[in-house]
Amino acid sequence: MSRLFVAYFMLFCVLPSLYAQSISIIESEAEIQFLFVDDDVDGSLSNFNFNGAINLDDLANSDFSGSVAMETLDTDNWFRDRHLRSKKYFNNKAYPLLSFKSTSVSGAGSEFLVRGNLTIKGISRPVTFNFRKLPGKLQGTAQINTSQFDILIHDEISRNMVEVTITLPYTTQ
């Protein structure tokens, strides 16, 4: 009877922890894309640096944190990119990084929410990303208003909406 108990204990308590889905983000393949909704201008940011820890079996105790260099802002228009990086907008010389730090992760399965603070130009605001687990990657989307970060593309605040999509390829550990 005691051997049977030990076998059940190993099967139900120890083995599941061996298969916990901790993952490693492949930073070099991560994509941060954005769309200025009102102007239908899209672009990307690169050189993503991930410093969190994600366990797909324990999302509540996971940390989604990272940053990206503002100098990598790219809209496929050199003149517009230079203008957006200037003091008037993102001011990438004074504020070289855009960063995100999660405060909570909720949900389970293939869809979950990541709440946290997005910092642009030294201004932090709460943002919620809706994430989906896809084969080999996590993809999150959020909407922000750039006026909350002292970036006024348009004088009318409602016209400063940006859709952000983050794609995080990963490997399991």
In terms of Cα–Cα distance, which of 123, 128, 125, 118 is closest to 150? 123
* pTM of the predicted protein model: 0.85
**Backbone phi, then psi, for 92, in 5-degree steps?**
-65, -20
What are 21-36's pLDDT values in tens digits?
A: 789 999 999 999 999 9
What are 80-90's pLDDT values in tens digits?
A: 999 999 999 99
Q: What is the mean pLDDT of residues 11-18?
A: 42
Domains present along the chain, CATH in parentheses:
21-172 (2.40.128.110)
User: pLDDT at residue 14 above 50?
Assistant: no
Name residue, tokens 């389970």: 108
| Those residues with Cβ within 8 angstroms of residue 45's Cβ, 6 or more apart along the chain or in another chain | 32, 34, 68, 69, 70, 72, 73, 74, 98
For 143, the 3-state DSSP assignment is strand
- How many other CB atoms are found less than 10 A from the CB of residue 46? 14
